Amino acid sequence: EPEVTQTPSHQVTQMGQEVILRCVPISNHLYFYWYRQILGQKVEFLVSFYNNEISEKSEIFDDQFSVERPDGSNFTLKIRSTKLEDSAMYFCASRDLLEPQHFGDGTRLSIL
């Protein structure tokens, strides 16, 4: 069964550094998402992406965050200058038109 893959599984970064989280969505999917889960809290929507542009972003997704689909297969989340509170599990998801969202296994981001 096709799946969403995320790399790396764990990223440790110094505060203030830039980090890029990578995702390969399922190949025929058209809609892409990033969510995050801070330890002990609920999974929260960050951003959705369709037709090469952001379709919606949450209040969390400020100017420090950006997303890109640089080629036909990758979907990336960049945090420009990381803060301690960015430490969380970040999940990528994708879906086709009438399907539920399929999630990757996440990247654990630890900011020191």
Partner 1 sequence: DQQVKQNSPSLSVQEGRISILNCDYTNSMFDYFLWYKKYPAEGPTFLISISSIKDKNEDGRFTVFLNKSAKHLSLHIVPSQPGDSAVYFCAVLYGGATNKLIFGTGTLLAVQP
Binding site for partner 1 (CB under 8 A): 4, 6, 31, 33, 35, 41-45, 48, 50, 55-56, 91, 93, 95, 100-106
CB 11 within 8 A of CB 77: no
Q: What is the largest CA-CA distance in the chain?
A: 40
Contacts (Cβ under 8 Å, ≥6 apart) of 60: 36, 44, 46
- Is the Cβ of residue 49 or residue 82 nearer to partner 1 in the bound state? 49
- Is the Cβ of residue 13 or residue 45 nearer to partner 1 in the bound state? 45
Cβ 47 to partner 1 shortest distance, Å: 9
Cβ 45 to partner 1 shortest distance, Å: 4
Cβ 16 to partner 1 shortest distance, Å: 28
- Is the Cβ of residue 14 or residue 97 nearer to partner 1 in the bound state? 97
Cβ 22 to partner 1 shortest distance, Å: 15
